[in-house]
Structure 1
Amino acid sequence: MPALQSLCFSATTPSPPKSLTNLSTKPTKTLQNLHLPDANISLQFKEKILCLEIMGVDSGKALTHNPSLQTATLASIHSITSFLQSKGIHQKDMGRIFGMCPKILTSNIRHDLKPVFQFLSQDLNVPENNFRKAINKCPRLLVSSVRDQLKPALFYVQRLGFKDMESLAYQDSVLLVSSVENTLIPKLDCLRSMGFSHEDAVGMVVRCPALFTFSVERNFKPKFGYFVGQMEGSLEALKEFPQYFGFSLEKRIKPRHREVVERGVSIPLSLLLKSTDEEFRELIEKGGG
C-alpha cells in the first residue's frame, strides 16, 4: 500500500501525492462537515484526512469524537501506528481499532500506551505474541487509564472470584474497561434487588460475566418481570441458569414459553432456551424434557 506508507507510516511527506488534488468523495465530505473555509484547510490537514481514510478510519467520525486530531501531525500519527506495530498489531487491524477508539491517535505513548501493555503483560500474564489478540478483542483497553480504571476493575472482579486471567484478557476484557462504581456494582445490586443473596448474585456473574454488560432497564427488569410474572419461575432456576438474561425476550423467551404452555409440556429453562429450533421441536413432540 504505497499511499498508506507515504502518508501514514512516514514521518515526513516532502511532496503531496497526486491524489490530494482530487480527494475522494468521503474525505471531501469530511472537510465540508467540519465547516472550515477552504483557505484554512492546509495541505497537511488534507493529507491527514486522506491518511485516516486509507487506513479505513471514518475521518469525520474520528475528528468528531476526538477534536484533538485536528491539530495532530502526521508524524505523531505515524509514531502511534509504529508503536502499535512494534507490539504486534497489524496494519489491517488499525482501521477497526482507531475507528472504535479515535482517541488512541492522539495518545501519549509513554504515559498512555506503554502502561497498558505493561498491564497486559504483568497483571494479566499476556505474552507479547498475544498482545494483538487482547487488543483486537477490546480496543478500549488502549484508552483506559491503568491506574484509575484497569487495575481497580481487575482488583474488584478478582475479589468477586474471577480467577481466570486468560478469560479476562481474551474474552471478558470489557469488564476491565467498565466503571466499578457506575457499571459493575449497580448490576450486582440489581441482581440482589431481585431477591438473590450477595453470594448467589456473585456466583451468577462469575459463571456468566456477560451479566455485567446487560442493561438494567432494557434487559434485567423486563426479562425478570416476565420470568416471575408469566413463566412463574423460581429464583433457584435463574441462579442455576443466569444465561437466561442473554436470550432475546421477544424472539426466544416469549415464543418458546407460549408454545410449551399451549402444548402443556414442561421443559427445563436451560433446554427451553439453549436448544436449537430442531431440538426444541423434538422436545415438544416428546412431551418435554
Structure 2
Amino acid sequence: MGFDRETIGRILARCPEIFASSHSKTLKRKIEFLSGVGVSEIHLPRVIKKYPELLVSDTDKTLLPRMMYLMKLGLSEKDIAYMVRSFSPLLGYSIDEVLRPKVEFLVNTMEKPVKDVVGYPRYFSYSLEKKIKPRFRVLKGRNIECSLKDMLGKNDEEFAAEYMGLPSAHP
C-alpha cells in the first residue's frame, strides 16, 4: 500500500492485533471488502491510516451489518464509500449504541433527512446527550437552521459566539 516505516509503526502501535492477523485471510479480505463497497485504491491507504482497526474488524459480524444498516436507511454504496473515505471510523460504530439512536434523533427530532450524514459522517462521533441534543435545543430555541457541520464542527466557544450571541474570547 506504500506506507512508510513511520506510518506502519503508528498503525501497529495503535492496532497491534494486526500482527496476529493472517495476511491472506484477514487483511486481504478487509481490503477486498472496502474496495468492494467503493473505497478506491487511491483512498484505501488514508482510510487505513486513519482507522487501522478496520483491518481487524470482523467482516461478517461487524462491517457488513453496519453497511447493510446504512443501506436500509436509504444510503447508497457510493454514499457509504464517501462517508468511510471522509470519516474512517464510521463502520466501527455499534448500530444499537451509536448509529440507530443518532439517526433516530436526526430524523425524528431534528427533522433532517438521513442523507445529511453523507455530508458530515463525523456526526456519529459526537455524544448525543452532551453535544448533539444540547446544541439542537439552542438552535431550535432560536429558530436557527444550519448544517450538521455548522452545528457540531465548532468548538463550544465558536458555537456560543455564532449562535448564542456570546462574545468570543479571541476577537
Q: Aligning the two structures, in what range does the TM-score lie when normalised by the shorter sequence?
A: 0.7 to 0.9
State the partner residue of 1:270.
149
Residue 182 of structure 1 and its aligned partner are, at CA, apart by 1.6
In 2: Cα distance, 1:170 partner to 1:125 partner: 11
> Which structure 2 segments of 5+ residues have no match?
166-171
Say whether residues 1:155 and 2:18 are aligned partners: no
Closer/same/farther in 2, CA of residues 173 and 232 from structure 1, 3 Å limit: same
Could you report, residue by residue, the CA deviation over 1:29-66 in whole angstroms, capped at 9, with x for unpaired residues? xxxxxxxxxxxxxxxxxxxxxxxxxxxxxxxxxxxxxx
| 2:12 and 2:18 in contact (8 A); partners too | yes
Partner of 1:240: 119
The yes-or-no answer on 1:141 pairing with 2:18 is: yes
Higher relative contact order (CA 8 A, sep 6+): 2
TM-score computed with the length of structure 2 as normaliser: 0.85
Shift of 1:125: 2.3
Q: 1:122-271 alignment to 2 at 5 Å?
A: 124-128=1-5, 130-159=7-36, 160-162=38-40, 163-271=42-150
Tell me, in whole angstroms, the C-alpha distance in 2 between the residues paired with 1:284 and 1:128.
45
- The structure 1 segments of at least 4 consecutive aligned residues displaced by more than 6 Å after TM superposition are none
- Matched with 2:169 is none
Cα distance, 1:128 vs. partner? 4.2
Determine the C-alpha separation between the residues in 1 that align with 2:27 and 2:13. Answer: 17
Letter in 1 for 2:150: L
What is the percent sequence identity of the aligned residues?
28
Q: Supply the AA of the counterpart residue of 2:13.
A: N
- How far apart, in 2, do the equivalents of 1:209 and 1:158 lie? 14
Structure 1 length-normalised TM: 0.52
The one-letter amino acid of 1:222's match is P
- 1:202 to 1:252, Cα distance in 2 relative to 1, 3 A: same
Structure 1 counterpart of 2:60, one-letter code: E
Closer/same/farther in 2, CA of residues 149 and 157 from structure 1, 3 Å limit: same
Please tell me whether Structure 1 or Structure 2 has the larger radius of gyration of its CA atoms: 1
Cα deviation code 1:205-228 (max 9, x no counterpart):
232221111000000111111110
Query: Mean alpha-carbon deviation: is it higher for 126-135 or for 216-225?
Result: 126-135
User: 1:38 maps to which residue?
Assistant: none
1-side partners of 2:4 and 2:163: how far apart?
A: 48
Q: Equivalent residue of 1:266, what SS?
A: coil
Deviation at 1:133, TM superposition (A): 2.3
Counterpart-to-counterpart distance in 1, 2:91 and 2:63: 6
Q: Deviations over 1:172-221 (max 9, x none)?
A: 21111112222111111110111222322232223222111100000011
The verdict on how the C-alpha distance between 1:128 and 1:204 changes in structure 2, with shifts beyond 3 A counting, is closer
C-alpha distance in 2 between matches for 1:129 and 1:235: 38
Structural RMSD (CA): 1.9
How many residue pairs get aligned? The number is 163
How far residue 275 of structure 1 moved from its aligned partner, in angstroms, is 0.6
User: Which residue of structure 2 aligns with residue 96 of structure 1?
Assistant: none
Contact 1:219–1:245 (8 Å) recurs in 2: yes
1:153–1:176: 8 Å Cα contact kept in structure 2? yes
Residue number in structure 2 paired with 1:107: none
SS in 1 for 2:56: coil
1:168 CA drift (Å): 4.5
Q: Any stretches of 5+ residues in structure 1 without a counterpart?
A: 1-123
Equivalent in the alignment of 1:280: 159
